[in-house]
Amino acid sequence: MKEALQEYGLTEKEAELYLATLTNGDSTSNTLAEKTPLQRTSIYDIAHTLVQKGLLSTYKKDKKIYFSAKPPQALIELLNQKKEHIKEVVPQLEQLYKQANTKTHITIYKGKTGLRTVAKEMLVEKEILVYGGGIKADEAFGVFNENFARKRVEKKILLKSIIGTAIPKHMQDKEILQYTQIKTHAYMNDFETTYFIYGNTLVIWDYGTELTATKIESESVAQTQKKIFAYLWRQAEE
């Protein structure tokens, strides 16, 4: 029982004192000191916190102070009160959360390991929009790209891709094409970067002298990129 009361939010000493008062009925500090391992001098302080929490009350009789435990149902009533108080401020807390999450977060990944890490993070999305250097990505990652595509298909994640006129071999596979839509544009032939857009995130893979992925978590950036993708999709060829 003491452990349950501690999980409820009482300290070990508060739980000890509450149980002793509940078991022995109205008690003085001397009685409680005898019934518990608590020091008599500390009982008043512990009792004071329990009174503040609504689990004990005090009264004076024959010049002695008695401590009286509130019925166990008070524990439930106090939880319900806390729940109601929290419900009142949840809208304000939600607003703070939204404000914090509208801030732009930028993360830089370097090397093949870093780019693979950010790629795997995409495998929880429902749809990924991509434009840029398809062949460049295959040259940089080889079989990893095919394995990624097959995992994506297993999870039924749709990929809409605009790439150069040279289509990587794995993207022509019938199984992968079930969840892949491809359009081409000659303008993408010499792209040294690939842009991935999903949710409120933009990831840019750079295949320059050092492989780098820049992950930008921003609703406004992602929405702008989705508009750019929609424009390019209309210009590209099936």
What pLDDT, in 10s, does the model give residues 11-45?
Answer: 898 888 888 888 888 888 888 888 888 887 888 88
Q: For residue 170, what pLDDT is reported? A: 82
Level-2 CATH architecture, domain 2-71: Orthogonal Bundle (1.10)
pLDDT at 127: 96
Collapse the DSSP code of 59 into the 3-class scheme (helix H, G, I; strand E, B; otherwise coil) and give the result. strand
Residue range 67-90, pLDDT digits in tens: 888 888 888 888 888 888 888 888
Q: What whole-number distance in Å separates Cα of residue 238 and Cα of residue 234?
A: 10
**Measured distance CA(96)–CA(106) in Å, rounded:** 20
∠ CA 28-31-36 to the nearest 5 degrees?
Answer: 120
Q: Is the pLDDT of residue 6 over 90?
A: no
Predicted confidence (pLDDT) at residue 155 exceeds the cutoff of 90: yes
Q: Which stretches does DSSP call E strand in the chain?
A: 56-61, 64-69, 105-110, 127-132, 158-163, 180-184, 193-198, 201-206, 212-217
Domain boundaries, the chain: 2-71, 105-235
**151 or 74, which is more confident:** 151
What pLDDT is stored for residue 35 in this prediction? 84
b/e for 21-30, b at 16 or more Cβ within 10 A? bbeeeebebe
Over 80: is that where the pLDDT of 141 sits? Answer: no
210 DSSP assignment: S
Give the pLDDT band of residue 166 (cuts 50, 70, 90). confident
pLDDT on residue 134: 65
**Residue indicated by tokens 């020091």:** 39
Q: Is 142 left (phi over 0), alpha (psi -120 to 50) or beta?
A: left
Q: What is the mean pLDDT of the chain?
A: 86
Sorting pLDDT into bands at 50, 70 and 90, what band is 181? very high
Q: How many CB atoms lie within 10 A of CB 196?
A: 23
Q: 105-235 falls under which CATH superfamily?
A: Endonuclease Chain A (3.30.870.10)
- Mean pLDDT to the nearest integer, 189-200: 89
Residue 197 has pLDDT above 90, yes or no: yes
